[in-house]
Amino acid sequence: MSGGAPRPDLAAARANWRRSPLPFGPRLRLALRNNWRKLRARAGCCGDYGQPGC
């Protein structure tokens, strides 16, 4: 698989969560939205690199 989106990684997900400047509520909502996108599309990434939940 070359040139595709990066594979999901727990360490990267934690880093995205910690680096987000958003308060907890909006950060949680964004993470839920991005995970819902991944589930709906059956993809490893929602396309919003660097955001919580991606």
pLDDT single digits (tens) 1-54:
455 656 667 787 788 888 888 899 999 998 888 888 888 888 777 777 667 766
Confidence (pLDDT) at 30: 87
Is 3 among the domain residues? no
Looking at the domain assignment, is residue 28 inside a domain?
yes
Could you tell me where the beta strands, DSSP code E, fall in 1-54?
Answer: none
Asked whether residue 54 is domain-assigned, the answer is yes
Question: 31 near 53, Cβ under 8 Å?
Answer: yes
pTM: 0.65
Look at residue 16 and give its three-state secondary structure: helix
**C-beta pairs of 39-47 under 8 Å, 24+ apart in sequence:** 43/5, 44/5, 44/6, 44/7, 44/8, 45/5, 45/6, 45/8, 47/5
Domain that holds residue 23: 8-54
